[in-house]
Structure 1
Amino acid sequence: MSVEHVLAVVPVSDIDAADAWYERLFGRPADNNPMPGLVEWQVTGTGWVQVFHDPDRAGGTMLNFAVDDLDAHVADLAGRGLEPGEVQQANKGVRLSTTSDPDGNRITFVGGFRVRY
């Protein structure tokens, strides 16, 4: 099996409010709106976040994004009117900051993360 793309789906109760919130999160409008109730942002070369109107499932998703400079990223988010959480220290130099969208879906930004194969 060869996976070409990863699509992380975030269910929300109000697609218009979520579209505006995720636009602030990513710092730009959605890259795609393929159908009513679905907006998408390409976050890596082959990774996408899909924000999908699904009130019955809204609020239970968790996304983790590894970022190159956590402190700068947290400051940037705060400057866009979002409320990133306090930076917390984890193991092996990894640091975390978490925020939530209007439905309570959790987005965690990870700094100092290194993939080891």
Structure 2
Amino acid sequence: MFFEMTVQIRVSDFQEGHKWYKTLLKKEADLIPHGGFVEWEVIPGCWLQVSEGVPAQGSGPLRLGVKDLTVERERIMKELRVDYFDIHSRQEVGAKWATFSDPWGNQIGFFEYINKLEEKERIQTVTNLK
């Protein structure tokens, strides 16, 4: 049985990486256990770790669920100076998605449920709200 998950992203400039991911996630880090390493609990039991080091090539993307993909794209283009990126969809897929890169080449993305009732149910399940 799995009950938690961590994903680690490495950045070559830790101070800038910490600041960049703080802005992306719209919150302060939950843990800073030692220098060159910081963690956010993105959703209950799911942690994003940002570590000083050489970014992994060819991995990802790490995709985060959002309520409004267009709004999030505009926010990170403005706040993080991310270049414009396309939003994709396919008729047989129940979500729209988009991928962009952080300044160190790590692939990050967002996805948005097309069916808002399904989205609401997923949010309730993940956050344990009833």
TM-score by length of 2: 0.74
One-letter code aligned to 1:103: W
**3-state SS in 1 of match to 2:17:** helix
Alpha-carbon offset, residue 69 of structure 1 = 2.1
Q: Percent identity?
A: 28
For residues 98 and 87 of structure 2, the distance between their equivalents in structure 1, rounded to whole angstroms, comes to 5
1:1-117 superposed matches below 5 A: 1=1, 3-55=2-54, 58-60=55-57, 61-62=59-60, 63-83=62-82, 85-90=85-90, 91-112=92-113
Shift of 1:93: 4.1
TM-score by length of 1: 0.81
More helix by share: 2
Q: Secondary structure of 2:43's match?
A: coil
Distance change (3 Å), C-alpha of 1:29 and 1:59? same
The code of the aligned residue for 2:48 comes to V
Please list every run of 5 or more consecutive structure 1 residues that lacks an aligned counterpart in the other structure.
none
Q: Report the 3-state secondary structure (helix = DSSP H, G, I; strand = E; otherwise coil) of the residue aligned with 1:43.
A: strand
Aligned-residue Cα RMSD (Å) equals: 2.0
What does the per-residue CA deviation read over 1:51-81, in whole Å, with 9 as the maximum and x for residues that have no partner?
01122xx143421112222222223323423
Contact 1:12 1:59 in 2 (8 A): no
Q: What letter corresponds to residue 51 of structure 2 in structure 1?
A: F
Q: Following superposition, which runs of at least 4 residues in structure 1 exceed 6 angstroms of deviation?
A: none
Distance 1:71 1:102 in 2: 21
Equivalent pairs, count: 112
Between Structure 1 and Structure 2, whose CA radius of gyration is higher?
2
Give the Å deviation of 1:15.
Answer: 0.8
105-114 or 74-83, which deviates more? 74-83
